[in-house]
Amino acid sequence: MNNFLKILHFELINVLKSKWIIFYGLSFFFITEAIFRLGGSGSKAIVSLLNLSLILIPIISIIFGTIYVYNSREFIELLLTQPIKRSQVYFGLYLGLTFPLSISYLIGIMIPFLIHGIAEPIVLTSLLLSGIFNTFIFTGIAIVIALKFDDKSIGIGVALLFWFFFSIIYDGLVMMLIWQFGDYPLEIPLILSSILNPLDLGRVMVMLKFDLAALMGYTGAIFEKFFGETIGIVISLIMMSIWVIFPFFYGLKIFKTKNF
Amino acid sequence: MGIIRIYKVFLLLLYIALQISPVFPRVIFVNPSGEIKTISQAISNSNSYDSVFVVKGYYKESNLNINKPLTLIGTDYPVIDGTYSNSNILTVTSSNVIISGFIIKNVGVSAVNDNAGIKVTNSNYCKIENNRLFNTFFGIYLAKSKNCYILGNEVKGNGNVESQSGNGIHLWQCSTIVIQKNRVVNNRDGIYFEFVSNSSIQYNYSSKNKRYGLHFMFSDNCDYINNDFIDNGAGVAVMYTKNIKMQNNRFIDNWGASAYGLLLKDIRDSFIYDNEFKNNTIGILAEGSNRLDIKRNNFIRNGWAVKIMANCIDDNFSRNNFISNTFDVATNSKQSYNKFHENYWSEYDGYDLNNDNYGDVPYHPVSLFSYLTSQNEPAIILLRSLFINFLDAAEKVFPSITPEALVDKKPLMRPIK
């Protein structure tokens, strides 16, 4: 355990040293502040932030994560020559990445909100929650990719592809589904499709928390009914957790057996 | 001497004439502690053109029939309580009736009779003024009447269930009616017009009604001006009508799965000027509405500012402000037979090189996504997705799917004040 803490401590210092993370937090701070100053009220600011975090968080987490693991490859190999459990090295690496990323995101967004007053606390909470979940999910995927592919350029390409799939291609496929099966009741398949993609899930949850459900007519009513009830929220949280846990343990499995 | 005698004779004759004349108006007082204790007694004692003054008090009466010209005035708001009996409280079947200054409450709900607080039928020149009606099922109900004036009343329903509440001010087969400065809250429809002509609705406040703030059908040549329609179940509906003028009204907070600021269905040759549409799910929904002139309106923060169906022809939208709407315009067809020009669009990102306040690039107010969702409603679940933003951006550069004819060729650079 002591070893794990030491590794975590070192990883945290190392990640902070790269200054990337500070830049990341600062950019969230400045963007949020700018949205407030440009006349966005609390709820408008959250919608703009939602758009932004759904683009920024996944791509930064996945690219930063992949590059970081590639760069600390030699250090990991060095550590593995020591009498330390591989799982401890892995935990240190994982948390050393996810903690600073989520904390700088939280601080970056929360400071402007604290300055200008917190509006819509429930929506804000779900925005922050989805941001943190997405950080964990995409960092996990990043580590898996970096461990799977030894070639750095291929790894980064695959990481980009993953981001591209979740944020754009997936919705394109959903659009095609809606188009092809427009004559059938699609509400249940659509609920399913938005649960399966963590980015869609975050987006839909925050949108429904606003009055925007009214915009969506019948579809919105069914979504609101599902996500408004406890069972819907529980299922969403479980789904998000599965998205966190699955890459994490898959990465652990690879890490334990990998021949560095 | 002679003059004084003539004068005396004249006075005597006048006195006799006044004494025997059946039409000489008298004043009858109703007072709970006086000689005439009930309004019904006063009405049956009165002759045509008498005045009945009702002193402040609590009168448990209903089914009062006014079948002769009569002025009925309450001083300091006497209360007429119908105790939920199955009848109207005041029924007017004569012309030249004035009812003013009463609190009228508790009319029984009936599925068969349209019971009302004040029901006026076959009347000419009546005036209903400054009354307050509470829980009256239907509030003020006019049928087959002409030249009436409904001024400064407050109608407040119980507003629980649509089927258990009536309309605030209900007009059927009337003409030349003025409805002014009334406040209608918590009814089924705030103001209801069916087969009404040449009438005017002004300075009213209609809010929190279960169905429509204003429900308007088969009523030609009417206007409504300076009214507030706020937070009604489904907004305002104007249907099957021509020659309507709608000006300076405010349509606000009509927000819900099937709510509109203004629903236009089969309207023609009408004018919609200087209105404000704010925070509605749909600002204006137009179906089969032709030759409308829609000018100088503000559309602010609506879900859809304007939804215009393909069966609308020759509608003209000019000099309106479209500000921060989720969708500016939606339509269900690739064709467009309507004209949009010189509007201000907050989403417009063109430039104005010659500084004439008109953008040099045409603006297409129908985004690809709004077109897709009107074709296929469930697609709205992709709202604000990155994929959709990309699609919209691509479509903006090369419009191919959205109606190319629906375009504002001279968009304004700055909003109209």
Q: Do A54 and B386 touch (CB under 8 A)?
A: yes
Distance from CA of A139 to the nearest CA of B (A): 20
A115-159: pLDDT as tens digits: 887 777 888 888 898 899 999 999 999 999 999 999 999 999 999
pLDDT in tens, chain B (417 residues): 577 788 888 888 777 776 665 557 889 999 988 889 999 999 999 999 999 999 999 999 999 999 999 999 999 999 999 999 999 999 999 999 999 999 999 999 988 888 999 999 999 999 999 999 999 999 999 999 999 999 999 999 986 777 788 999 999 999 999 999 999 999 999 999 999 999 999 999 999 999 999 999 999 999 999 999 999 988 899 999 999 999 999 999 988 878 899 999 999 999 999 999 998 989 999 999 999 999 999 999 888 999 999 999 999 999 999 998 888 999 888 888 999 999 999 988 889 999 999 999 999 999 888 888 888 888 888 888 888 888 888 888 777 888 888 899 999 999 988
Is the minimum CB–CB distance between B226 and chain A shorter than 8 Å? no
- For testing the chain A interface, which of B381, B386, B389, B395 should be mutated: the one with the most A CBs within 10 Å? B381
pLDDT of residue B1: 56
Other beta carbons within 10 angstroms of residue B194's beta carbon come to 17
Size of interface A-B (CB pairs under 8 A): 79
CB pair distance less than 8 Å for A54 and B377: no
The answer to whether the CB atoms of A214 and B259 lie below 8 A apart is yes
Buried b (16+ CB within 10 A) or exposed e, B119-158: bbbebeebbbbbbbbbbbbbbbbbbebbbbebbbbbbbbb
Given CB atoms, is A33 within the 8 Å cutoff of chain B? no
Helix (H, G, I), strand (E, B) or coil at B174: strand
Phi (first) and psi of residue A192, to 5 degrees:
-60, -45
Burial class (CB in 10 A: 0-12, 13-18, 19+), B314: middle
Q: How far from chain centre, in Å, is Cα B200?
A: 9
Q: Give the contacts of B125 (CB within 8 A, at least 6 positions apart).
A: B95, B96, B146, B147, B148
How far is A189 from A102, CA to CA, in rounded Å? 31
Distance in angstroms (rounded) separating the CA atoms of residues B73 and B100: 5
Q: Which residues of A touch B325 (CB under 8 A)?
A: none
SS3 call for A10: helix
> Long-range contacts made by residues A233-237, C-beta under 8 angstroms, separation at least 24?
A235/A195, A236/A195, A236/A201, A236/A205
The predicted pLDDT at position B398 comes to 78
Give the C-alpha separation, A144 to A221, whole Å.
38
B225 near B204, Cβ under 8 Å? no
**Nearest-CA distance A127 → chain B (Å):** 14
Q: So what's the pLDDT on residue A39? A: 67
ipTM of the complex: 0.83
CB contact under 8 A, B385 and A207: no
- B179 within 8 A of B169, measured Cβ to Cβ: yes
Q: Which of residues 166-225 of B touch A (CB under 8 A)?
A: none
Asked if B346 is an interface residue toward chain A (Cβ–Cβ < 8 A), one would say no
Return the bridge partners of B293, or none. B271, B316
Q: What is the pLDDT averaged over residues A1-28?
A: 83
The average pLDDT across A188-209 equals: 86
- Compute the CA torsion angle A130, A131, A137, A142 (nearest 10 deg): 160
Pairing of strands B276-278, B304-308: unpaired
Mean pLDDT, residues A219-226 taken together = 78
Interface of B with A in 301-330 (CB under 8 A): 303-304, 326
Which of A167, A178, A222 is most worth mutating to test chain B (most B CB atoms within 10 A of its CB)? A178
Cβ contact, residue pair A214, B256, below 8 Å: yes
Q: Does A47 touch chain B (CB under 8 A)?
A: yes
Q: Which of B377, B385, B401 to mutate to test the interface with A (most CBs of A within 10 A)?
A: B385
What type of residue is A27? S
Query: What local confidence, expressed as pLDDT, does residue A41 receive?
Result: 64
Question: A221: pLDDT confidence band, cut at 50, 70 and 90?
Answer: confident
Facing residue for B376 by CB, picked from A51, A179, A223 = A179
User: What's the predicted TM-score (pTM) here?
Assistant: 0.83
A216 touching chain B per CB within 8 A? yes
Asked if B376 lies within 8 A of A178 by C-beta distance, the reply is yes
- Contact between A174 and B382 using a beta-carbon 8 Å cutoff: yes
Residue B303 with chain A: CB contacts under 8 Å: 212, 214-215
Helix or strand or coil: residue B98? strand
